[in-house]
A and B are shown apart, each in its own frame.
Chain A
Amino acid sequence: MADPAPKPAATFDCRNAFVQTLEELAAADPRIVAVVNDSVGSSKLGGFQKAFPDRLINVGIAEQTMVGVGAGLANGGRIPFVSGASCFLTGRALEQIKADVAYSNYNVKLVGQSSGIAYGELGPTHHSIEDLAWLRVLNNLTLIVPSDPWETSEAVRWAAAHEGPVFIRVSRMPVPELSRPNREFRVGKAETLRTGGHVAIIACGTTVHLALAAAEALAGEGIEARVLNMATINPLDEEAVLAAAKTGAIVTVEEASVRGGLGGAVAELTSRNQPVPIEMVGFPGFVPTGSVEWLFDHFGLSASGIAAAARRALSRKA
């Protein structure tokens, strides 16, 4: 007899965790300011603006200025959280991120909102699937991709306390709160959410819960999959990746392009040190018109798609 349908888990928009934490931190630390590009609503910063009207700097639709202003504010002793849609923040202002924030090594916190393909039907101009590739190569910039509200909140707290450039990639896509063996947020360290020695699934952000569901399905076939939450893409936890390579098969999963992001980082490292078959789950590049759900399903960002990738990786195992 079939089990009763599982109750769908509650899901959360991580932007709420971002703003709640930021408001709390700002109440305690007057140096914290927010910088936006006509993005008060889409960053959910309306409450922050109300509470701290003088500490919300809206430069208008001008991302290059927004990031440059962030660097200037850091120079003036403020702790700026520069928040805008990840596509425009990282695409339009990439040189400001490179030169003014990373290279100048200013204490700026960049918050890429509605990242990945959260804007679904609005198309590739509004998708931010290239951001992991073009940000992870920048020195000094800590690149964090939280997987759920708890981790988003921890990342914001860590960023505020850390002296140096940080990018936090926030999604608007509803995700479940992950159950974790121990709630300890460690930047630069992979979190092992499931142990297993046949294949390792390395995921980040909105795809971590899908990776866990895939591992559950694989277990039913006798395949023991390790699941790593790689919330920090830069600096990468090399030790955890090389240990994962020892299983002999790796799957990377990201709500991003399969070119140059988490998959690219894992491939760079393993190809030099511990060559291993890798299957990369993500988007191939510019995608067709479609809703978030349709795009995830179409490109295999699903429990079944990830499980299939794991089987492919296993079949290539030496």
Chain B
Amino acid sequence: MTSQHSTVTHPNDPLPMIREKALWMRRRAFRMVYEARLGHPGGDFSAIDTLATLYFGVLRYDPAQPAWEGRDRFIMSKGHATGALYTALAAAGYFPEDWLNSYMQPESMLNGHPNRNYLPGVETNTGPLGHGVPVATGIAIAGQVTGAGYRTYVLTGDGELQEGSNWESAMTAGHRKLRNLTLIVDRNRLQQGAETEATNGLDPLDDKFRAFGWHVEMVDGHDHAALLDVLGAPVGAREKPLCVIANTVKGKGVSFMENQASWHHGIPNTEQFNIAMEELV
């Protein structure tokens, strides 16, 4: 059964739109965190360029038909970055922008971690780290079994990769040659309390994924053109899942937040909020 749908069409040159949306997302997400006095702005800002590139240059979806079976899937495995995810979904048209005002408020659809039963466009509930890659692997296996043409994208944090579940499913995906599966690692080199390499080091991360049967690309995770190149490229003859290691900066775009572990869940005061708004132009 095919439902009625009209897939979003990305412009021939989506870069200006991606740039505009990424800027709007940063400003809007920061306002959400400022007003709710809660959130994870550091991880929002390292991921926003990836999300803007996906939603405005890569993914095939119809916000009016969120359950359209042919849609590309995106899973935000680092579910704490709801500032990035919710602004992306609102900008993509899944729900009205003014829903963002209710972020974290009593009985809001916009919980601190995404809930698919509340919000269209959320594929699976995340928040505990290490759940997105197994679920994405299952979605990709379903696509392989049914011959559906959709692609599955999943974004994890880098600290998140310390969870063993990621590696179990990475083995499965490599073993099954899930060519329609793409894992993007937000490689900002920081986790909650410290640097990943000082806590439980991941390097050489690319070699690890290659050894698990993945094709690996490294990219500047804030360079929209470079992201568009690797994420938007057709699968072609590749017979392996794709791992994109996006080298990013936690807190990217706001001088005092960049590379600071304390901004993992830091909350801006009014002065900081105003400085950020001046810088995010």
Contact = CB atoms under 8 A, between A and B. Distances in A.
Interface of A: 38-42, 58-65, 87-88, 91-92, 119, 121-123, 125-126, 288-291, 294, 298
Interface SS, A side = loop
A121 B196 CA distance: 27
Given A125-B113, A289-B108, A290-B107, A60 B159 contact: yes
Contacts of B192: 38-39, 41-42, 61
B191 interface: yes
B204 interface: no
Which bracket fits the contact residues of B?
20 to 34
A40 B193 contact: yes
B75 interface: no
Contact of A88 (B104, B113, B126, B128): B128
Contacts of B160: 61
B191 A38 contact: yes
B128 A38 contact: no
Contacts of A61: 129-130, 159-160, 162-163, 191-192, 200
Given A41-B192, A125-B125, A291 B106 contact: yes
B162 A122 contact: no
B163 A62 contact: yes
A125 B106 CA distance: 16
Most A C-beta atoms less than 10 A away, residue of B106, B130, B160: B106
Interface in B53-107: 79, 104-107
B230 interface: no
Contacts of A125: 79, 113, 125-128
Contacts of B110: 289
B11 interface: no
B112 interface: yes
Given A65-B164, A289-B107, A123 B199 contact: no
A219 B93 CA distance: 56
Contacts of A289: 104-112
A39 to B, nearest CB: 8
Most B C-beta atoms less than 10 A away, residue of A38, A59, A291: A38
A60 B191 contact: yes
Contacts of B159: 38, 60-61
B128 A92 contact: yes
B38 A121 contact: yes
Interface in B189-232: 191-194, 196, 199-200
A123 B115 contact: yes
A42 B80 CA distance: 15
Contacts of A298: 106
Contact of A294 (B106, B126, B162): B106
B111 A60 contact: no
A38 B110 CA distance: 26
Contact of A41 (B79, B106, B111, B193): B193
B115 A60 contact: no
B111 A123 contact: yes
Contacts of B113: 122-123, 125-126
Contacts of B130: 61, 92
A126 B127 contact: yes
A87 B127 CA distance: 11
Nearest to B109: A289
A63 B200 CA distance: 13
A298 B106 CA distance: 10
Nearest to B161: A61
Contacts of A123: 111-113, 115, 127
A121 B162 contact: no
A295 B229 CA distance: 46
B191 A288 contact: no
Contacts of B162: 38, 59-62
A59 B200 contact: yes
B36 interface: yes
